[in-house]
């Protein structure tokens, strides 16, 4: 099933999720809330909703499947999710405090949309600074939306961090692992990397103790 079949996921959100490595309903259902909120434009509320809807879809599909008859003496092995060691980043007390501040700020952060993008079809939602002389958003008139300001930014030392506290690094081959620290960096494998090279990267990363944010999910 396509991602767009999940309630709450539109065309743009689906493109962002695919870009982050989530290509199926099963991927969304298995992902954690923290991983989903790391995708641009997805907050905690939306992440919780789409994960719940994905799980419901999978349950409906499983319920429609006919039950398999098991002969006496035949052993049926239940599919178990692959157990992975939970890797925790090395953070100072100040970084832990600032990450909590970041989460609270992100929960309150409004959605910045281009002025009148909801009225005019030719305008997309991506933010543009209002410039018109009589523009009500530029003049800060109440009820006309919010303007991007410095105060909405997260603390500089934890800006761009993954919710787990790691600094994300995009990798496309094993050579790019050199110079990275497993206690500080988490890996996100590029979406254009093929399965053979992806498995090679994951093998080397696990040996060195790296956390992989989008591991291969073997069905």
- Interval 106-131: pLDDT, tens: 888 888 999 989 899 999 989 999 99
Indicate the pLDDT class of residue 69, thresholds 50, 70 and 90: low
What distances in angstroms separate CA 178 from CA 22, 27, 174, 205, 208, one per listed residue? Answer: 26, 29, 8, 10, 10
Q: Can you list the domains of the chain with their CATH numbers?
A: 3-64 (1.10.150.20), 166-219 (no CATH)
In whole angstroms, how large is the CA radius of gyration of the chain?
A: 21
pTM of the model: 0.51
Q: What is the pLDDT of residues 48-57, one digit of tens each?
A: 888 888 888 8
Please work out, in degrees rounded to the nearest 5, the angle formed at the alpha carbon of residue 205 by the alpha carbons of 100 and 179: 80
> Does residue 171 register a pLDDT over 90?
yes
Answer yes or no: are the C-beta atoms of 173 and 179 closer than 8 Å.
no
């Amino acid at each position: 099933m396509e991602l767009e079949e999940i309630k709450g996921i539109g065309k743009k959100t689906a493109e962002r999720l695919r870009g982050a490595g989530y290509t199926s309903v099963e991927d969304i259902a298995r992902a954690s809330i923290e991983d989903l909120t790391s995708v641009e434009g997805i907050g905690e509320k939306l992440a919780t909703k789409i994960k719940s809807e994905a799980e419901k879809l999978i349950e409906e599909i499983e319920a429609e499947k006919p039950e398999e008859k098991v002969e006496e003496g035949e052993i049926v092995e239940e599919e178990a999710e692959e157990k992975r060691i939970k890797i925790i980043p090395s953070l100072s007390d100040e970084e832990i405090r600032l990450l909590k501040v970041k989460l609270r700020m992100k929960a309150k952060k409004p959605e910045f949309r281009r002025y009148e993008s909801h009225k005019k079809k030719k305008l997309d939602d991506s933010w543009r600074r209002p410039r018109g002389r009589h523009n009500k958003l530029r003049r800060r008139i109440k009820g006309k939306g919010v303007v991007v300001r410095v105060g909405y930014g997260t603390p500089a030392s934890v800006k761009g961090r993954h919710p787990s506290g790691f600094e994300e690094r995009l990798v496309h081959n094993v050579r790019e692992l050199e110079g990275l620290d497993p206690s500080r960096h988490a890996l996100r494998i590029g979406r254009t990397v093929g399965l053979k090279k992806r498995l090679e990267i994951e093998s080397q990363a696990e040996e060195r103790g790296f956390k992989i944010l989008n591991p291969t999910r073997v069905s």
